[in-house]
A and B are shown apart, each in its own frame.
Chain A
Amino acid sequence: MKKSVFFGALTVAGLAAGAAAAGTLDDVKARGKLNCGVTTGLVGFAAPDANGKWEGFDVGVCRAVAAAVLGDATAVEFVPTTGKTRFTALASGEIDMLARNTTWTFSRDVDLKFTFVGVNYYDGQGFMVPKELGVSSAKELDGATVCIQTGTTTELNLADFFRANNISYEPVPIETNAEGQQQYLAGACDTYTTDASGLAATRATFENPGDHVLLPEIISKEPLGPLVRHGDNEWGDVVRWTLNALITAEELGVTSTNIAEMSAAPGSNPEINRLLGTEGNLGEMLGLSADWAKNAIMAGGNYGELFEQNIGESTSIGLARGLNAQWTEGGLIYSPPFR
């Protein structure tokens, strides 16, 4: 008797969770707040400042989605997640979307039942060496000692790369990025390898960043992007096209400074008009207001502006656009058309 009551309660709970998951967009609108999962702190991507206000590249995506759905870029409840808790938080419905530099992989998409809605940063594993070593290519690292985080995909990528190039290396296992930083600076290893954005952020904290160089080789693919739960395609579309709106805005030259003027009246470019809602009914199709994309772009600027403010070359992290340039400038950032 007790058992059946217990299972009954579980079923009801499961049904309630299922019902809640069916309409994330409606839930967010009813709540008046977007629950967005971010990291507990990663330089340039997401971290609260001295006043507790969240800032960063991934945070920008959250704010854009909140602005598109609710018209208010500050209507976001940032839920900090660790590498271990992020997927459960999303699967259990604690957060509506996850924007936490998460690599899009087959098993996460298919097996963990998430939908990656796009890529907002193309990362890859790189190498950092002291300048005085005089190395200009990773292929010259024969016999080098390499600081490498254990139990990560970077470890496997490293082994593959050195085997493919038929050169040898000696791993120095480390546990965390902070430890790797210390070991590398102390000279325990010749080179330190992890994601290129992480290397750049780490180098930015050195006392003499100029004494260290990042090698040009990128030995793995790490496409990072926001993700939502499987099975709620309307919500997935909202997040996907908000990201695409930011990308398209940069491509079409719509910035946070000229957007007020451009959205005031239909202009000569029909795609800009459709994007900003002065023409057509794209917003209505998504279940949002006509000026959804305008709000999203005004939240923090277009994709390029977000990049420059948070991780671009003007910041201390100083990442070049590289693969993350628009497709028109030789990068991979490419949005399907707004039509």
Chain B
Amino acid sequence: MSDTHAESVAFVRETTIPESPPPATERGVVKWLRENLFATPANSVLTIAALYVIYLILASTLPWIFGGLWTTTSLAECREILQGKTGACFSVLTERWNQLLYGFKYPVEEYWRPNLAFLLLFIAAAPVLFFDLPRKLLIFTGLYPFLAYWLIWGGSALVPIVALLGILGGALVYQRFVKSSFAAGFFGAILAAFVIWIVAGMIIPENASENAMLRAVPSRDLGGFMLNMMLGVTCVSLSLPIGIALALGRQSDMPLIKWVCVIFIEFIRGVPLITLLFVASVMLSYFFPPESTVDLFLRVVIMITMFSSAYIAEVIRGGLAALPKGQYEGADSLGLDYPQAMQLIILPQALKISIPGIVNVAVGLFKDTTLVSVISMFDLVGMIRGPILASTEWNGVYWELLGFAALLFFVVCYGISQYSQWLERRLATDHR
């Protein structure tokens, strides 16, 4: 058998041909280029056009950035040194750095206070954002608002302590009475908190702020990017729970609650934010006597929070509507009451669906905080448009300043967006 075979065939290959590399056009960079950039003639044309546009942009911006000056004291001096050459005048950023970040009135020797508050913010936010961390850290998160208030505004430490005590007292009362009746717990808690605030408010001496450990800084002196961060963080963290409550309220079977929520949401969504800000800054001062107005920062926080909570409520309502009816019925069939059903079954799913929408609102809200510049608060954009561009040294510097503002906002907004994508991946339980 084998003999016949050997004789009938002239050559039999006994080993496999060694693997040879793929053709040059089918591997590595060349392959990638061919597939992605030059697949068809039309693609090639587009690629070349795009490369040319990129070249044009870089050719004009790179010399501008790398030729930039960082140490002059005025725009005129920049121009003198540059002598008509291309180059940015970044000195405005170095000279006005503190003003851009903290506003022009925050006392220089107290800058460590907002800085510390900013660092602590990460510690406080971490257990909320990353739920793998030990739950005990949440205690610090709860204390953080009072600590941050004390750090940034300074003054008597008694004020945030009393505020904290009031809330703790309210929480105790709520826990005590909520078993018998929700209404008793809820209104009892509010009553208890107010009693503690009013009684303790009388005990705090009038001049407590004068010799306080941290010097008191009035709200009017806050400014710069610090103000944007403060407004953004406060309003987002307040509007999320309020938004959830509004969304649930809108689906409620109780007509009063339902209609209050519907009217609130529809009214706020029907009014531009800038109108609300004008109401906060202009109209309200007509109603109060000159010396007893509510703090402007607080007024603005209330308005922005109302605005964004209405939007978040609608986003979450979308999430609630996306849940199949069976989920509600399933919760009922397990014998869960309303709070349990919401907490254990409905909201975890609805909120997960709503994440992209909520993040969208949060990013938009953060950028909307620059609107406060029109009511003469000096946030980052207000600082640029007002004092810096109006100074004789820097009048006429636009690209450098607004580019810097754009960069700061981009960093924060991109961070929020990346976090939300991580969160969506982390919470993904379906198989898509």
A84 to B376, CA, bound (A): 9
Q: How far does the alpha carbon of A49 sit from the alpha carbon of B376 in the complex, in Å?
A: 17
Q: Is A206 in contact with B395, judged by CB distance below 8 angstroms?
A: no
* A165, B361: Cα distance in complex, Å: 54
CB-CB contacts below 8 Å: B383-406 with A:
385-392, 395-396, 398
Per-position binary interface string of chain A over residues 17-61, scored 1 when its CB falls under 8 Å from any chain B CB and 0 otherwise: 100100000000000000000011111101111101000000000
Bits for A183-204, please: 1 = Cβ < 8 Å to B, else 0: 0000000000000000001001
Instruction: Write out the residue numbers on chain A whose beta carbons fall within 8 Å of the beta carbon of B376.
Output: 40, 79-82, 85
Contacting B390 at CB < 8 Å: which of A16, A47, A92? A47
Q: Does B150 contact A (CB under 8 A)?
A: no
Is B79 positioned at the interface, with any CB of A under 8 Å from its CB? yes
**Which residues of chain A in 76-91 are interfacial with respect to chain B, using CB atoms and an 8 Å cutoff?**
79-82, 84-85, 88-89, 91
Contact of A20 among B220, B287, B290, B398 (CB under 8 A): B290
Contact A204/B105 with A13-B288, A84-B374 known, Cβ cut-off 8 Å: no
Contacts of B290 in A (CB 8 A): 17, 20, 92-94
Nearest neighbor of A310 in chain B, beta-carbon distance = B392
Whether, in the assembled complex, B337 has its beta carbon less than 8 Å from a beta carbon of chain A, the answer is no
Q: Do A204 and B395 form a contact, CB below 8 Å, given A40-B385, A41-B387, A50-B96? A: yes
Of B96, B289, B385, B392, the residue contacting A16 (CB under 8 A) is: B289
Give the residue name and chain of the B residue nearest to A47 (CB).
Answer: B390
Judge whether B75 is part of the interface by a CB distance below 8 angstroms: yes
A88–B286 contact, CB under 8 A? yes
The yes or no answer to A10 lying at the interface (CB within 8 A) is yes
Q: Max chain B CB contacts within 10 Å: which of A20, A81, A92, A201? A: A92
Q: Is the interface of B mostly helix, strand, loop or mixed?
A: helix
Q: Nearest residue in B to A88 (C-beta to C-beta)?
A: B282
Q: Is B14 an interface residue (CB 8 A)?
A: no
Q: Bound complex: CA of A48 vs CA of B385, how far in Å? A: 12
The smallest C-beta distance from A224 to any residue of chain B, in angstroms, reads: 16
Closest chain A residue, CB of each to CB of B95: A50
Q: Which residues of B contact A20 (CB under 8 A)?
A: 289-291
Interface bits B75-99 vs A (CB < 8 Å: 1, else 0): 1100100000000000000011001
Q: How far apart are A137's CB and chain B's nearest CB, in angstroms?
A: 28
Please, how many angstroms separate the alpha-carbon atoms of A92 and B284 in the complex? 10
Judging by beta carbons under 8 Å apart, are A316 and B375 in contact? no
User: Which chain B positions have C-beta within 8 A of A92?
Assistant: 285-286, 290
Contact with B396, one of A82, A94, A206 (Cβ below 8 angstroms) = A206
- List residues 157-187 of chain A with CB under 8 A from any CB of chain B: 178, 181-182
Q: In whole angstroms, what is the CA distance A42 to B278 when docked?
A: 22
Whether the Cβ atoms of A40 and B382 lie closer than 8 Å is yes
Q: Is B378 an interface residue (CB 8 A)?
A: yes
Please, how many angstroms separate the alpha-carbon atoms of A17 and B378 in the complex?
A: 27
The reply to whether A13 and B289 contact each other, CB–CB distance below 8 Å, is yes
- Chain A residues lying within 8 Å of B395, measured Cβ to Cβ, are 43, 201, 204-205
Q: Other than the known A40-B387, A89-B285, A315-B392, what 16 A-B pairs have Cβ atoms closer than 8 Å?
A: A10-B287, A20-B290, A41-B391, A43-B392, A46-B390, A47-B390, A47-B391, A48-B104, A50-B95, A80-B376, A82-B376, A84-B278, A85-B281, A92-B290, A201-B395, A316-B76
Residue ranges of B at the interface with A (Cβ–Cβ < 8 Å): 75-76, 79, 95-96, 99, 104-105, 220, 278, 281-282, 285-293, 374-376, 378, 382, 385-392, 395-396, 398
Some 16 contacts from A to B, beta carbons below 8 A apart, are A20-B289, A40-B376, A41-B386, A41-B388, A42-B390, A50-B95, A50-B391, A52-B99, A52-B104, A79-B220, A84-B278, A88-B282, A92-B285, A178-B389, A204-B392, A205-B75
Chain A contacts to B: CB under 8 angstroms? 10, 13, 16-17, 20, 39-44, 46-50, 52, 79-82, 84-85, 88-89, 91-94, 178, 181-182, 201, 204-207, 315-317
Closest 3 CB pairs of A and B: A41-B390, A205-B396, A40-B386
